[in-house]
Structure 1
């Protein structure tokens, strides 16, 4: 695998260009490399899991820092001569011929243009957090959005769910076997009666006060935690805070290409990763199929989606039917 900090002038028509070098993009590159496809992976150096100190629920990499996972993936890809990793940021993308997009695409980067017969988007999503003071500093460690990825680390401690939205009863159910106690911080908002009834049925307390701020806190035994300071001066001492970010596309390429989006804001794909534009595939957190109401935001799911989309790329280039 060629690893270039700056790309030279590139006149080649590559088999595929992968935008994004997180788990989905790297898995796609491996699958394409193993079929000797000429693939360029564009790595901006920005990743959704940058805030976290460790990945979890990833077999073989549980508790490993994301950077270590990427380094291991890079070592794996180095065995494949047709895979090239370019450390550069993609700026925009377009079909070579808007009337026939499957004929190929051009990606403009900070270091020059890259053209390819197929385009695979794996740029992920950006988490927009609630504006609670102190939350951003805790996100990825004491605060997290996924009970499957981070819930176990809060074992035996009080856990809060920030916001009493429709997600809160499900998250409470997931956390009740893990946490010593679950509390919902309504943050001054009115609680829907059905949500309140579902939380009451689980015996989950609801704090109605506005959350003034979250502060780092060392719990007994040195466990990292947070103090939620509520309006009126009350506080909750917590080992973890579950939050539901609003998702946005991390890159503008879906909009530039006019791809169909789902209500979640993610790219609409079929089970193989094909999008609404011929020749464009998408994998990872930025996309999901109609069978799921939201993307399966995990490293393992992203890797599986990347591998599946790479198979679809290869099938397209072979001229095989969908």
Structure 2
């Protein structure tokens, strides 16, 4: 006996091309799963291509996520997958999309499955929710302590390290702004520029006003604890500075080059540009989450995924119900 929802799915207008799916979502983080949930509730045929662990996998918890504050990243995504099970029009595959090509009213995607097997699917719309990767400074120990002793976002981790001796790594305007922000959570904050900091006189004055000390000595390495927390910043002159955590604002790049290969417009910082309807510069191709400009938090990515899903469903409806 067919599922009750099967009889509710309307046929496409004759002018619409037949595709395997209405929407393919590339990426199964907060943005991708949130979009899939909204589209599943719209009775849309959806394929989620899950390309692997999310950016926040090393973090001990996802903070400031309404009703889920402090939940482990893997557990949050597991809940997301579980809550998609009632929606029988939504399918998930562990797969890495290697190529996307745009045609007349549809997209063709080539992907590599879990076993290495290649497959091809077609969709009317595509949502990029692939996220970004952080380019950490080449300091020994930085990668090993990433997510626990080396942190990127005071809004995500500031409360957990409040009142502890903290450090902020970087140079120029970026390190100044981040240090002033971090000083909300601690009174003992230092800036480590790992060589000349290229700070303006005004920046130095602002740091002094907040009693933030400045270290321009080159750094040898970071010394951590067995649990991944930071113990010392070790300078090339042999000095050791005890710190509980170090904040850094690293450069980033897109986790995949699919947007670039398709010719999508990118911002000056390398994010995928979108309009107010979450659509990229390529018609029918949408983006959400850390892939796009703006603050990066799991709860914001989830919200952006929902916004993109609504925009996609409404675009599909306009195509199916022409004037």
Q: How does 1:1-322 map to 2 (within 5 A)?
A: 12-95=19-102, 97=103, 100=104, 103-110=105-112, 111-193=118-200, 194-217=202-225, 224-288=229-293, 295-319=294-318
CA distance in structure 2 between the partners assigned to 1:177 and 1:256 by the alignment = 42
TM-score normalised to structure 2 length: 0.88
CA distance in structure 2 between the partners assigned to 1:261 and 1:226 by the alignment = 39
CA distance in structure 1 between the partners assigned to 2:222 and 2:153 by the alignment = 19
CA distance in structure 2 between the partners assigned to 1:116 and 1:134 by the alignment = 44
Q: Check conservation: 2:62, 2:69, Cα contact below 8 A.
A: yes
Q: Check conservation: 2:149, 2:228, Cα contact below 8 A.
A: no
Let me know the Cα RMSD of the aligned residues: 1.8
Q: Check conservation: 2:49, 2:94, Cα contact below 8 A.
A: yes
Counterpart residue number, 2:4 = none
The runs of at least 4 aligned residues of structure 1 exceeding 4 Å deviation read none
SS state at 1:312 partner? helix
CA distance in structure 2 between the partners assigned to 1:190 and 1:49 by the alignment = 29
Shift of 1:173: 2.5
Shift of 1:180: 4.0
Q: Check conservation: 2:62, 2:72, Cα contact below 8 A.
A: yes
Q: Check conservation: 2:145, 2:229, Cα contact below 8 A.
A: no
TM-score normalised to structure 1 length: 0.88
Shift of 1:187: 0.5
CA distance in structure 2 between the partners assigned to 1:172 and 1:245 by the alignment = 14
Q: Check conservation: 1:161, 1:184, Cα contact below 8 A.
A: yes
CA distance in structure 1 between the partners assigned to 2:209 and 2:264 by the alignment = 42
Partner deviation per Cα, 1:42-69 (whole Å, 9 max, x = no partner): 0011311122122111122222111100
Going from structure 1 to structure 2, the CA distance change for 1:12 and 1:280 (only over 3 Å counts) comes to closer
Q: Check conservation: 1:27, 1:306, Cα contact below 8 A.
A: yes
Q: Check conservation: 1:296, 1:302, Cα contact below 8 A.
A: no
Going from structure 1 to structure 2, the CA distance change for 1:223 and 1:133 (only over 3 Å counts) comes to closer
Could you tell me which runs of 5 or more consecutive residues in structure 2 were left unpaired when the two chains were aligned.
1-17, 113-117
SS state at 1:26 partner? helix
Q: Check conservation: 1:223, 1:239, Cα contact below 8 A.
A: no
Count of aligned pairs: 297
Shift of 1:155: 1.5
Partner deviation per Cα, 1:1-43 (whole Å, 9 max, x = no partner): xxxxxxxxxx953110000000000000001001101110000
Partner deviation per Cα, 1:49-100 (whole Å, 9 max, x = no partner): 12212211112222211110011101111111111111111111111x2xx4
Shift of 1:199: 1.5
Please, which moves more after superposition, 162-171 or 295-304? 162-171
Please, which moves more after superposition, 175-184 or 295-304? 175-184
